[in-house]
Structure 1
């Protein structure tokens, strides 16, 4: 059972905890309490092993294919957290019948995981255990652990085996050669491994410090076996005594920028020296540096406070900021954000449209430097995108639905869930025909540029992305004689329950936006920056491309609201499909229950949607549709949307708030927060729902605070939930940080650099250069 009210004093609404332990429900805490720093992510499996556990350590960007017919994925690296702990020869097992005062807690503020309990041996002896660990944000290569064992009522014999265990896999797929193993000075453990296909060297180094009441233990027993290097510490512990073990591990790879070009021997020496320096400091000093880094890099940069009658609202927001930090490889522009972050094997560590649509806005408006890095990853991915376009017979850049290393191109698997009718695996078509991601990337580039005015990025990277994606769309269009317009046929839109559809509205509108953007920037560069224009024209043949863009813009079919009911067809056939009673699936306690009754092919003939489709179009291109159209379509499509994807709730929450259904908006906010933090103890087994995490921030800032960018201009129309007294946060706008405070009847914005700012609040334009105070009228506001 998860608990969110254990924080007190300075840590109130900072603690995510597990108040009891179940060997049958391990995945929830493993993922929700996962640790990381963007360089690596560590799933929070317990130190003692259990059947069904998932021990994952992922290093961002280290993709490998275990076999040529397998997809490239992040390899599960050697495990350093498992400990074999025995008391009087009996292995520790924290079964509830033998355990008291069990608490496992993640301190979001300091990013430290702790676990404590009293265990009773089969002989009736009581022993207290306290475990601590963190993955450093100060030194990205460090994993630190601490263990304290106290004999409470009797003398005991303690044995602890610890080290580096490379007997791991990705759901059975082995990614590493066995490698080299060594122990230096009976103290420093080293394991060097290489991935079998991508040939990336991994260097693991571990050191222990074991003591009894402050006195160092004798030398441990050493063991080297296949893919394993271990030390065993043994000691008699008298009643009242405490045995302590600190374990520090460093992880380096040949993909690290600071090790680029070095010989393996030099890399391992540098990594070993790094471990020795950490050992000289110890756990507590490293924790202090780590906690300071979190304060400096996260909580000072992303100040957010919610004065709510429900404390969970603030904790959930902080939880989102925590995971947005640990999932993001901010250190290296060659890497993107995985759909499960670095918290589980789900989706193989691949990046989707989730980043651009649901996560990137947080960084664009909160930490533009990281947003720039994530968009540079997409620029580097043009190599793979061009490869995919060419292989499919198109021009320009066709971004992969699932991306790994930038040059890899498409890495989506081809086969997925079982078909309940045929019993066969279902073909995964997303990698072939879910193509809106190409326009999504271009949209994200534009959104970043409008919010930052980063002209240097555009000249070096952004324009080329927009132009080459537009070239793809121009080559992708098909002429429809009946309409005398261009169509985009045989695609999958955001609603992935509808495959092989023609003219998905979201796809068509975003392709059109992409083409319009290319024409606009083409004309601007020709007139204002001939040097950049000439460079890109030579590379992309822009003059010829612009002719096709202009024709496509004028003739691309864009589904319009019907006269009778204002409904915009999601695609050419959606509104002709049969309607069934979806109550059972709308009230489901877990997602995808509809697949227990229908195959994906059958769902194609029913008016049911997996997730927001038209709704995200209304949100992102809101100025293209009237409020009456939005209302009509919201009330039609929302009852048919099962929210079987974690991406969906945030969009519907924002639109509900826009349309003044604040109670529903808050209800959807709670549901989004509870995807990972809620009572479903199986929801996070495969890893965190990273798009939903980004969506939580968007509901707060883009929804309740009403922050939007329209045609490059800032707008803020706050509509707080009724039980929120105040919302405070900051955003970055045009290179300046704005601090925002929204109360029941007042909006206050402070420009920290005292640079001029212009924005609109409920239809009124304001200009200021220091502090703006707006009295919020009653009624719809």
Structure 2
């Protein structure tokens, strides 16, 4: 059972806790309490093993293809967290004996996982266990663990095995060649791995320090053991009543992707020696000092930067927002611009560590507004991915850059699997079409570049990366459009939009509008460079041959079919056939506990014929277009939002975790305040809610980004409006105050919002202009605006 009200004092509304242990419901706690730093993610499996556990350690960028008929994925790296404990010769397990007290908690503020247990053994002896763990934000390669065992009643013979276990797989697929194992000085253990296809070397080193009653002891000699893909030490200790055993375990992870070494004849051995020396150097500090450094890094790099606070009648709201910022931090490879964010972050094997449009539309806005340096890194990853995007376009008969629906290492190109879940009618695997025909991601990336540029004013990024991405994605769309001779216009046929319950549709509104935006944006930037930076345009023209494409973008955008709102009700058709599909009673699926329940009654072909939506393309479209120069072209009025919200929301099952946040933002825009908050809360409960199986495969990364977005872009009313900053707050009625810091044009801006007042503070005292409810304001220090 999850509990969110245990934090006290400085940790009030900072604690995510599990207060009851169930060996059959391990996945949720393992996922939502996972630890990470963007370099690696460690799923929070317990130290002692259980049958239903999932032990995952992923290091970003180490992608490998296990077999020729599988796609590349992040491999599950050797585990150092398992400790096999025996009490009087019997295995310690919470399935045995009696658990008197139990609490496991993740402190979001300090990013430390702790577990406290009072346990009576099958022989009636009472012991207290405490486990601590962190993945360092100060040293990206470090995992720290600490175990304390106290005998409360009797003399106990305690024994435990601890080491490195590489006998792991990704749901059965083994990604590593057998590596070397070593023990040094009966204290330091080393294991190396090399991926079977991508040849990524990985070195894992770990060490133990044993103390008894607070004093380090060197007279406990461990036994050393090895087996296939594993190496460990066994310690035997006798505890008298009230005696305490303390075990510190420090582990370092390094890979050949890290670029920490120069080329050598034996790269793997050099990596092992380097990483082992790093571990020896930091081990003298011990767990407590290393944790202190880690805690300070979280304060300095995260909590002092984002500065978010909410005074709400329901303290859960603040905890949920802190939960979002915690996970956005631990999932993001801020250290390396060759890596993206997986749809399950680094918390589980779901979606194989691949990046989707989730990043650009639902996660990147957090960094664009709150930490532009990280946003730049994530967009640079997409720039590196132009190699794979151009190859995909060529393989499909198109020009320019056609971004893969699922991306891994930037040069890999398309890595979407070809088959997925069961077809409930035929019993066969369903075909996954998204890698072939879900193409809107190309314009989503173009939109993200556009948004980043306007929010940050980062001209250097645009000159080095951004313009090239915009131009070559426009080249793809110009080659992708299909001429309809009868209607004398261009169409985009046979696609999947964001609503993946509609496959092989023509003129999906989201896809067509965003392609149009991409083409128009490229034309605008071409003209901008022609007038203001002809030297850069000349260099880009040398690379991309842009003169003819420029005219092509203009001509095809002028003649691209854009689904218009119906005159009678302002509803924009999602695609050519959606509005003519049959309607059924969707209440069963709207009220379901588990998503995708409709697949238990219908197969994809049947769902394709029903007026039902996974997530509403049109609502996402309205939200995005409003932030662009197309806002006036298409008259994106409040009435238009209202009409489409009222039409599509009842037909939307929110079977995509991406869906709720956008609906919450738009509900706020059209003054459905109670519904906006209800949708926000529902979005937070995708991972934090009472369903104990909601996160078995990992957290929902985009939904977590959406939690922040629905608060900032929804309740705070912050929005990019053309090239202006707009702030139209509308706090939930039970929120008294909201405070947070963003970046605008390179300057931190702190906003304080109450039910009646907006205060804007320019932290660097540089001029800032913004609009609130139609009125323009500017300041160079701080300004209070009645609302």
Matched, 1:210 2:215: no
Greater Cα offset, 611-620 or 687-696: 611-620
Distance 2:96 2:12 in 1: 27
Greater Cα offset, 628-637 or 368-377: 628-637
Aligned alpha-carbon RMSD (Å): 0.9
Choose which of 546, 553, 560 in structure 1 pairs with 2:557.
553
Choose which of 729, 747, 760 in structure 2 pairs with 1:749.
760
SS in 2 for 1:616: helix
Residue pair 1:28, 1:683 contacting (<8 A) in 2 also = yes
What is the CA distance between 1:553 and its match in structure 2?
Answer: 1.1
Listed as ranges, the matches of 1:320-339 within 5 Å are 320-339=324-343
Residue equivalent to 2:585: 581
Residue equivalent to 1:224: 226
Listed as ranges, the matches of 1:351-750 within 5 Å are 351-622=355-626, 623=631, 624=634, 625-750=636-761
Distance 1:38 1:713 in 2: 32
Residue pair 1:21, 1:96 contacting (<8 A) in 2 also = no
Distance 1:717 1:440 in 2: 25
Residue pair 1:306, 1:724 contacting (<8 A) in 2 also = yes
Residue pair 1:65, 1:73 contacting (<8 A) in 2 also = yes
Normalised TM-score (structure 1):
0.99
Residue pair 2:664, 2:675 contacting (<8 A) in 1 also = yes
Figure out how many residues of one structure are paired with residues of the other and give that number: 776
What's the CA shift string for 1:138-184, capped at 9, x where partnerless?
00000010000000000000001000000000000000011101001
Residue equivalent to 1:21: 21
Greater Cα offset, 563-572 or 30-39: 563-572
What is the CA distance between 1:482 and its match in structure 2?
Answer: 2.9
Distance 1:741 1:558 in 2: 40
What is the CA distance between 1:269 and its match in structure 2?
Answer: 1.9
Matched, 1:775 2:786: yes
Residue pair 2:192, 2:268 contacting (<8 A) in 1 also = no
Residue pair 1:152, 1:240 contacting (<8 A) in 2 also = yes
Residue equivalent to 1:55: 55
What's the CA shift string for 1:594-652, capped at 9, x where partnerless?
11111111000000000131000111112232221211111011000000010000000
Distance 1:397 1:462 in 2: 13
What is the CA distance between 1:565 and its match in structure 2?
Answer: 1.6
SS in 2 for 1:258: coil
What is the CA distance between 1:260 and its match in structure 2?
Answer: 5.4
Residue pair 2:36, 2:42 contacting (<8 A) in 1 also = yes
SS in 2 for 1:656: helix
Listed as ranges, the matches of 1:286-301 within 5 Å are 286-301=290-305
What's the CA shift string for 1:167-203, capped at 9, x where partnerless?
0000000000111010011111011110010101000
Give unmatched runs, 5+ long, in structure 1. Answer: 777-781
What is the CA distance between 1:211 and its match in structure 2?
Answer: 2.2
What's the CA shift string for 1:258-303, capped at 9, x where partnerless?
2353533332222111100121000000000000000000001111
Distance 1:613 1:155 in 2: 65
Distance 1:668 1:25 in 2: 26
Residue equivalent to 1:779: none
Q: 1:260 to 1:460 in 2, by over 3 A?
A: farther
What is the CA distance between 1:137 and its match in structure 2?
Answer: 0.3
Residue pair 2:97, 2:121 contacting (<8 A) in 1 also = no
Choose which of 234, 249, 253 in structure 2 pairs with 1:251.
253
What is the CA distance between 1:673 and its match in structure 2?
Answer: 0.3
Distance 1:116 1:181 in 2: 33
Distance 2:412 2:723 in 1: 34
What is the CA distance between 1:96 and its match in structure 2?
Answer: 8.2
